[in-house]
Structure 1
Amino acid sequence: MEQTVHPLRIANFRAYWLSRFAGTIAISAQAIIIGWQVYGLARQTMAVEQAAFLLGMIGLVQFVPLFLLTPVVGLVADSVDRRWIVRGTTALLCTVAATLGYLTYTDALTLPALFGAAVLVGVARAFSGPAYSALAPNLVPKESLPTAIAISSIAWQTGTIVGPSVGGFLYGLHPDLAYAIVSGMLLLALGLMFLIGRVPQPPAQRDRRPMQRILDGFQYVRQNRLVLAAITLDLFAVMLAGATALLPIYARDILHVGATGLGFLAAGMGIGAASTALWFSFNPMKHNVGVKMLIAVVVFGAAILTFGVSRSFWLSLVALIIAGGADMVSVYVRTSLIQLHTPDAMRGRVSAVSQLTISASNELGEAESGFLASLLGPVGAVVAGGVGAIAITLVWARLFPELKNARTFDPPEALEPGPQNGGIQP
């Protein structure tokens, strides 16, 4: 039997993986920096509750463009060279980071400038997310696809969780240094994307109207209950229990550890995620994947609950490490299930739907955390979120038995061309 080629031995995939990893770290680092700057500027004239509300608004203004653009970006990812979509959006993100760095250096930074940057970041991520996700399977042979999907997911999730720790540490050293490195990493990500040669991409379905093709993606997710369960569980659990937006409040006003402590707190989830990702790179999950995802989300909610009530810096850090590891398990399972249960011709549109729920859980979750913190206080908001994540997991286990019955990542039957769902029938 011919041995499966590891994806990282393929030059195109290697460049893609490094680009996604560097770009995700940079974007996530910039997000924590923007949050810290918004909170710092707001606290000069506002109370904690009002400043928390503005932190939530940063998440909202990033979510709105993604919500509005989701029907379009998936179709674009299935119709246009995915490499050029990523190149264009990465160039935009690099420009935004350099501009914020210049405004910080000249002491000209304002709240409107930060909110305007957040909107542009939301637009760029709306287009780049589906293109990145749908591009990975085009770079490797079919037999290497499960490993490629897992490794791609690890790059994104690890970058997402490690990035805030990088941003916090760099900003604690010097704000100008932080933005310089973020801009440099985005420039590196852009250069790596230009190293990827031409890759095959399914032809656009010209026989169907664009609006019908857009609806096909939503219809496919709705009809495939396993994909629907995996996507929506992450949506509600992380939206309820996301505590990242409130880390500046905990660092400054609850644990009293400042910008440097913020870096350590943000690093907690990064340590947990990176350790778990490293384990999966040598010991890929093969059995009882659905049950393990459900357990991981419960552990995530319990860890966030512990972080919310803690007044000890070290206990808070340990809780975030556990939360990061549990989150990585959930994302590893969810992303693998979605990609392996979705035909290539629809991966852009299904990835767009998935990205919408991910953004809802992250950016909209930040808004929810900020709004709830303005009403209940930051501790009350985090505690309520942790309890909510555990409750929603128990409900989903009953509503979607397909999830707990998912033994492996393999689809129950081959994905064949058919008359439904834009020419694809699961």
Structure 2
Amino acid sequence: MEPSFTNYWVSRILSSTSFQMLSVAIGWQMYSLTHDAFSLGFVGLAQFIPMVLLTLVVGHAADRFDRRKIVFLCQITEGAIAALLLFGNISGWLGREQILLAAAVIGACRAFEGPSSSALLPQLVPQAVIQQAIAWSTSAGQAAQILGPSLGGVLFSIGPNFVYAIATIALLIAGFLTILIRMEKSVRKLEPVSMRSLLSGLVFVYRHPVILGTISLDLFAVLLGGATALLPIFAQDILHTGPWGLGLMRTAPAIGALLMSIIFAYFPLKKAFGPTLFGALAVFGIATMVFALSTNLMISLIALLMIGASDVISVVIRSSLVQLQTPDEMRGRVNAVNSLFIGTSNQLGEFESGMVAGLIGTVPAAFIGGLGTIVVACLWMYLFPSLRKIRSLSEG
């Protein structure tokens, strides 16, 4: 890969890992200060609300301004917030309100950074290797999910100041690497700021069946297949393992995803993209059902590895389709819509799994969720035949 992509990839690892570390530290410190579960829930809400409220704005910004500079400013701002958390903790004025404000600002930065970073990627590599580039980018995210929480937990056990200090340094380095990225300037037709231009991303997605099917498929498939939200119950009540087992179970999907993304990076898919996409969703659903019925930790870990691996196959194909089927001048807005759908599916998927488990039991809820993913895949094959039949990334 080109040096610019290497800078992009390393920057993404540092930024995502820092976010995971800060999430652990902020959540733990909030609960230590308040001993209030509602305050802990508000931290997640403070990070999630900006993504929803800013979706149309961030997409428009990513299409009007230099995406590289947007990502840079977000990373530097996140680094400044981490530094303020460090200073506040040392000075003794860091409390509930300050933590919530920090979480909201970080959430707003992530809302801008995600779509801008995704829209930036196709400008860094030739179209012929976009699939490999997305696979490598996905591997960065998965590596961050594995390293970030564990590193954050270890550093927090030494002292929260260590988490905030390391995150500050990592985010500043990430920003420095981002601003070093060099790319050919693309000529984009800038639309005047209006309600029509703000909504044009949603309109574009609606008018293109392949993209609509791709984005909505993620929303409903992940919404129903969110068994990972129930891992603490499986670890304690079904598999009868301790915190160490829960840690292994939380890590297993990310490890499976990381391994598969590396395989994809070296052996990209050449044909049958549509059938492979739906096949991966079927494997995801079956693995979820196997996990639901398992009473053996090893079988459960293998099922979770398969869940992570099959999810990455789906992610790489869907991301590649969205990136290559969207004109550069629309990528920011379309990626903003995509980010909203992904974020919503993850959040609502955990909520749905918890509610259904409370009503009918943990095992039936997880099993029905896996079955629901397969049903959604079959339904989408019928509703979006163009997506089912697609053979190459260049097909419309």
Query: What does residue 17 of structure 1 align with?
Result: 9
2:387 — aligned with what?
A: 403
- What is the rounded CA distance, in whole Å, between the counterparts of 2:27 and 2:239 in structure 1? 17
Q: Does 1:163 align with 2:147?
A: no
Aligned ranges 1:192-341 → 2 under 5 Å: 192-197=177-182, 199-206=184-191, 208-247=192-231, 250=234, 255=239, 260-341=244-325
- Residues in 2 aligned to 1:310 and 1:193: alpha-carbon distance in whole angstroms: 44
Structure 1 contact 55–366 (Cα < 8 Å) conserved: no
- TM-score (normalised: structure 1): 0.79
Q: How far apart are residue 375 of structure 1 and its match?
A: 4.8
More deviation in 365-374 or 316-325? 365-374
2:350 to 366, 370, 375: 366
TM-score (norm 2): 0.85
Specify every segment of 5 or more residues in structure 2 that has no aligned partner in the other structure, as ranges: none
1:353 is matched with which residue? 337
| Match in the other structure for 1:186 | 171
- Report Cα offsets for 1:220-271 as digits up to 9, x if no partner: 1111101111111011111222344444555567656555444422321122
Q: Separation in 2 of the partners of 1:76 and 1:355?
A: 15
* 2:124 corresponds to which of 128, 139, 143: 139
Shift in alpha-carbon separation, 1:300–1:184, aligned structure 2, 3 A: farther
Cα distance between partner residues in 1 of 2:274 and 2:356: 31
What number of residue pairs does the alignment pair up?
A: 392
- Percent of matched pairs sharing the same residue: 40
Code of the aligned partner of 1:318: I
SS of 2:145 mapped into structure 1? helix
- 1:314 is aligned with what amino acid? M
User: 1:194 & 1:280 partners in 2: Cα distance?
Assistant: 28
Structure 1 residues 138 and 121: CA distance shift in structure 2, 3 A: same
**Runs of 5+ unmatched residues, structure 1:** 1-7, 46-50, 413-426
Q: Deviations over 1:31-67 (max 9, x none)?
A: 466667778999x67xxxxx6x988766554332212
**1:92-131 C-alpha deviation (Å, 9 max, x unpaired):** 3334445566778899987766654443333112111121
Residue 181 (structure 1) shift: 4.4
- 2:49 matched to which residue of 1? 64
Q: Distance in 2 between matches of 1:319 and 1:332?
A: 20
Residues in 2 aligned to 1:314 and 1:187: alpha-carbon distance in whole angstroms: 40
Is 1:146–1:340's contact at 8 Å kept on the other side of the alignment?
A: no
- Cα distance, 1:58–1:326 mapped onto 2, change above 3 Å: farther
Q: Which amino acid aligns with 1:81?
A: D
Which residue identity lines up with residue 316 of structure 1 in the other structure?
S
Q: Deviations over 1:251-309 (max 9, x none)?
A: 56765655544442232112211211121122110111111111111211222333344
- RMSD across aligned positions (CA): 3.3
**Does the residue aligned with 2:270 lie in a helix, a strand or coil?**
coil
One-letter amino acid of the structure 2 residue matched with residue 335 of structure 1: S
Residues 36 and 162 (structure 1), Cα distance of their counterparts in 2 relative to 1, 3 Å cut = farther
Q: Distance in 2 between matches of 1:223 and 1:264?
A: 43
Deviation for aligned residue 1:382: 3.4
Match of 1:387?
371
Q: Distance in 2 between matches of 1:102 and 1:369?
A: 39
Which segment is superposed worse, 161-170 or 277-286? 161-170
Counterparts of 1:82 and 1:23 in 2: how far apart (Å)? 16
Deviations 1:336-380 (A, max 9, x none): 111111111111111111111111122333344444455556555
